[in-house]
Amino acid sequence: RRTIAKYREALKIPSSSERKKLNQYKL
């Protein structure tokens, strides 16, 4: 796992691809 992925998870910042997935499960 890359460092960027770790810091993104820590800051709750989804990547561009993850953002598309999260848009489907918008709360």
The distance between the two most distant Cα atoms of the chain, rounded to a whole number of Å, is 27
Please give the mean pLDDT across all residues of the chain.
70
Report the percentage of the chain scoring pLDDT > 70: 56
pLDDT of residue 15: 65
DSSP3 helix / strand / coil % (the chain, rounded to 5): 65, 0, 35
Task: Decide if 17 contacts 24 (C-beta within 8 A).
Answer: no
Helices (H) and strands (E) in the chain, counts: 2, 0
pLDDT of residue 17: 72
Residue 27 has pLDDT above 60, yes or no: no
pLDDT of residue 26: 61
The CA distance from 2 to 7, in Å, is 9
Mean pLDDT of 1-27: 70
Structurally, the chain folds into a number of domains equal to: 1
Q: Residue 13's domain spans which residues?
A: 1-27
